[in-house]
């Protein structure tokens, strides 16, 4: 059994982050104070801290979630419907195979890059990646 991860990061507009994660991505809100809030991010915990400045994210700086294929398709539609800027358009590799996977990237209002993925068979996809390196 996998346990949830915890990720904590700083933002300059906590209200915009709350709105993005709860309204655009549909994540439930956890605890909240003036200084920070918790977001339940697909079974994991994000703790967002209010600050006055932040260095912008670069392409390699990202985090995300691995969803079921149907959830991933719904998230693609949800982000498109809300005119969310998509940094990396949705793409699917190895369509129809056990190692089929999809991913896309978006940016939250604080500049954090999120990569949302799915794997038809996570073990098969990971095995094929190890074999090809």
Is 12 domain-assigned?
A: yes
Number of domains into which the chain is organized: 1
CA distances in angstroms from 39 to 25, 29, 103, 105, listed in the order given: 11, 5, 22, 19
pLDDT band at residue 1 using 50, 70 and 90 as cut-offs: low
CA distances from 124 to 14, 38, 104, 127, 130 (A): 39, 33, 20, 5, 10
* Domain membership flag for residue 1: no
Most confident of 1-10, 56-65, 108-117, 120-129: 108-117
Q: What would the DSSP string read from start to end of 52-92?
A: S--PPP-TT-EEEEEE-HHHHHHHHHHHHHTTPPEEEEEEE
Q: What is the residue range of 39's domain?
A: 6-131
Half-sphere exposure of 61 (CA within 13 A, CB side): 11
Asked, for residue 93, whether it belongs to a domain, the answer is yes
Within-domain flag for 108: yes
Q: How much is the CA Rg of the chain, to the nearest whole Å?
A: 16
Report whether 67 contacts 42 (CB < 8 A): yes
**pLDDT value, residue 23:** 95
* 27 vs 19: CA distance, rounded Å: 10
Residue 113 lies in a domain: yes
> For residue 100, is it within any domain?
yes
Res 131: pLDDT: 45
- Name the band, by pLDDT with cuts 50, 70 and 90, for residue 105: very high
pLDDT confidence of residue 117: 93
DSSP code at position 4: P
Span 27-49, mean pLDDT? 92
> pTM of the entire structure?
0.75
Span 44-88, pLDDT tens digits: 989 999 988 777 767 667 899 999 999 999 999 999 888 888 899
């Amino acid at each position: 059994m996998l346990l949830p991860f915890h990720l904590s990061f700083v933002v300059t507009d906590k209200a915009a982050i709350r709105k993005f994660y709860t309204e655009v991505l549909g994540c439930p809100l956890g605890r909240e104070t003036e200084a920070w809030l918790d977001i339940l991010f697909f079974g994991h915990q994000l703790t967002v801290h209010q600050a006055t400045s932040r260095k912008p994210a670069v392409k390699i700086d990202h985090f995300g979630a691995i969803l079921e294929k149907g959830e991933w398709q719904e998230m693609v539609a949800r982000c498109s419907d809300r005119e969310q800027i998509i940094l990396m358009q949705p793409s699917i590799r190895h369509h129809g195979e056990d190692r089929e996977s999809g991913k896309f990237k978006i940016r939250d209002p604080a500049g954090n890059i999120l990569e949302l993925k799915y794997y038809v068979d996570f073990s098969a996809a990971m095995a094929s990646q190890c074999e090809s390196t």
